[in-house]
Amino acid sequence: MQIDRIELFHVAMPLIYPWRTAYGEDAAIHSVLCRMTSGSVHAWGEATPFAAPCYSPDFSGAVYQINRDWLAPAVVGQNISSGAELQQKLLMFKGNPFGRAVLDTAWWNLESRITGKPLHQLLGGDQTDVVVGADFGVMDDVAELLPLVDEAVAAGFPRIKLKFRPGWDLPMLRAVRRNHPDFTFHIDCNSGYRLSDVALFQEVDELNLAMIEQPLAHDDVLDHSKLQQQITTPVCLDESIKDPRHVQQAIELGSCRIVNIKPGRVGGLTNAVIIHNLCRDAGIPCWVGGMLESAVGASLCVSLATLDNFTYPADIFPSSRFYVEDLAEPFLELERTDDGTPMVRAAEHQPEPNEKRLQNLLLEQCVVTP
């Protein structure tokens, strides 16, 4: 397809309540959206790296700028026939996976519009229903957390993720496990620990978790392999997997037994599918994570999660979980499988921003043409 026009939008989306993790707290989610046009057809992409470089080196202001000045000019006016070809056009630019993802996700969405084929089918998915889990961030007190966990268990969520950081770690986890001795939990450390904390994770072993997500440094695979050798709970890599090369290294080193794939973090849907396939071939299960995107980005994650090696319930949230009113329409809704398990459904047509809400949340915008 010929890429005729690229419009970029940097937005700040206020949360219902702050999202607290090992790396900090966000009261609003900063995101970069792209409207890509070919002829008379347009489609949207999104990547959500947050306002500050705390989750990863990328952050929303930089993602907007590198697209405005470098990445979008490298592809606009070009005839691009595949996601792989788009990634090749950007190969000269180092790093910046969230920046690449803005364009890559828009390209896939545009290809879906032009061909009339639902995005999940283009990616290789053969289902529409994606089972999801529940997540809880860091809170002021364990007494605040426990009834929320009870509610999520009663609501039928198949697993719960708990943010885990120094000062909000073993006592919290033990309290949750006492109340639900057989339920599926895992913890997400967001790079909050070091290999010298191995004794802590050996205590975590006793609590029978599904996994420990990204316990060590955001760019590490070597120390994770050493940690995995000393504990029985599976290590899951998240922040460390930024492209297919990183997952190949992690597989070779034995750094993890499960991988979280977020389209933004790995450079878009093209790389996400490659990483999914590499893990599948190595016998490593995957699951899809989210970055609190608007319904634009969240729906892209749902489409990805229909692939066959995504076997652990996804981290994809309905619009109402974090936003009073989502930026995009239709909102992403929580539904139920036949047995009552919470799930989301891959869309036939991807959501688009509501123009009025987009302008209300806008920090900066630009148009890139040939």
Catalytic residue among 89, 94, 161, 262: 262
The amino acid occupying position 43 is A
Query: CA separation (Å) from 144 to 82, 134, 240, 324, 329?
Result: 48, 16, 31, 22, 32
With a CB cutoff of 8 Å and minimum separation 6, the contacts of 17 are: none
3-class DSSP string for the chain:
CECCEEEEEEEEEEEEEEEEECCEEEEEEEEEEEEEEECCEEEEEEECCCCCCCCCCCCHHHHHHHHHHHHHHHHCCCECCCHHHHHHHCCCCCCCHHHHHHHHHHHHHHHHHHHCCCHHHHHCCCCCEEEECEEECCCCCHHHHHHHHHHHHHCCCCCEEEECECCECHHHHHHHHHHCCCCCEEEECCCCCCHHHHHHHHHHHHHCCCCEECCCCCCCCHHHHHHHHHCCCCEEECCCCCCHHHHHHHHHHCCCCEEEECCCCCCCHHHHHHHHHHHHHHCCCEEECCCCCCHHHHHHHHHHCCCCCECCCECCCCHHHHCCCCCEECCCCCEECCCCCEEEECCCCCCEECHHHHHHHEEEEEEECC
Closest to 332 (Cα-Cα) out of 234, 7, 81, 322: 322
How sure is the predictor about 19, in pLDDT bands with cuts at 50, 70 and 90? Answer: confident
Bridge partner residues of 26 (DSSP): 19
242 classed as catalytic: no
How sure is the predictor about 22, in pLDDT bands with cuts at 50, 70 and 90? Answer: low
Amino acid 301: pLDDT: 97
Q: What is the largest CA-CA distance in the chain?
A: 61
Catalytic residue among 117, 161, 163, 226: 163
Amino acid 189: pLDDT: 96
Closest to 201 (Cα-Cα) out of 230, 175, 222: 230
pLDDT at 69 over 90: yes
117 classed as catalytic: no
pLDDT tens digits, one per residue of 188-233: 999 999 999 999 999 999 999 999 999 999 999 999 999 999 999 9
- Kindly list the structural domains of the chain, giving each domain's residue range(s) and its CATH number in brackets, ordered by start: 5-117+354-368 (3.30.390.10), 122-345 (3.20.20.120)
∠ Cα 152 156 161 (to 5°) = 50
Structure-derived torsion over alpha carbons of residues 279, 100, 117, 335, reported in degrees to the nearest 10: 70
In this prediction, residues 153-180 reach a mean pLDDT of 97
Distance in angstroms (rounded) separating the CA atoms of residues 58 and 27: 18
Amino acid 361: pLDDT: 97
In this prediction, residues 21-31 reach a mean pLDDT of 83
pLDDT-above-70 percentage for the chain: 99
252-263 in b/e form (b: 16+ CB < 10 A) is: eeebbebbbbbb
Mean pLDDT over each residue of the chain, to the nearest integer: 96
Record the tokens describing residue 347, joined without a space. Answer: 């869309």
Distance in angstroms (rounded) separating the CA atoms of residues 50 and 39: 32
Q: Read off the pTM.
A: 0.95
Amino acid 267: pLDDT: 97
